[in-house]
Amino acid sequence: MNVSLLVSYIFLGLTLAAPIGPVNSARLDKGIKNGFWHAWIVGTGSMIADAIFMLMIYLGLVNFLDIPVIQIFLWLFGAFVLMYSGVECIVKANNINLAFSRGKESLFKCFFTGFLMSISSPLSILFWLGIYGSVLAKTASNYGRTDLLIYSSMIFVGLAIWDIFVAAITTGFRRFLNYGTLRAISILSGLSLLVFGVYFGFHGIAALL
């Protein structure tokens, strides 16, 4: 077992999780408003979606993504999920209660939010196809199938480390934030999701036309 390769795969997981995108925006919003477990469960939902993508690529079941109808559906559905979540963030920004907001939103809803954002994102699909697909091909040429599964699982170690880190950060910051700051963060998170939603929608409509 190559230790340096294991570490590189963990780092790859961290790299995949770190960019500020829809899932991280949702993580920050849920964590600051509701606490550690709500931020963590958003990331867990996203990781389940990532696991599905990885499994599809691992099994070679990605040919259907070349079908134009599937691509259009993914862009438009992803746009709907992101814009709905963004509007919800903004609308609920004025209803934050510092003392009693913790635990208000169900963990299942937060999990479903993270899962839907990732599973419906064409960028996530292309990201996994481009990065994991190429890494998988390279590793497969040098190692056996069992080793391949072990190395691939290290990506999830990296994803999990980032998820716990963000959840802990948002929980720690929450103690020092006032109402105005919380509202501003919620609105900024919502706007970020809306921007991604418009971007997805633009590509979906362009592909449709």
SS3 for 95-160 is HCCCCCCCCCCCHHHHHHHHHHHHHCCHHHHHHHHHHHHHHHHHHHCCCCHHHHHHHHHHHHHHHH
pLDDT at 127 exceeding the cut of 60: yes
Exposed/middle/buried for 183, CB within 10 Å: 0-12, 13-18, 19+? middle
Contact 39, 171 (CB under 8 A): yes
pLDDT at 115 exceeding the cut of 80: yes
What average pLDDT does the segment 68-79 reach?
Answer: 79
**Per-residue confidence band for 141, with pLDDT thresholds at 50, 70 and 90:** low
The helix-helix angle for 36-59 and 133-140 (nearest 10°) equals: 60
Contact 50, 124 (CB under 8 A): yes
Window from 4-13, 52-61, 99-108 with minimum mean pLDDT:
99-108
**pTM, entire model:** 0.70
For residue 4, give both structure tokens: 């340096």
Q: In the chain, how long is the greatest CA-to-CA distance?
A: 55
Exposed/middle/buried for 168, CB within 10 Å: 0-12, 13-18, 19+? middle
For residue 60, give both structure tokens: 């070679």
The helix-helix angle for 145-174 and 22-34 (nearest 10°) equals: 40
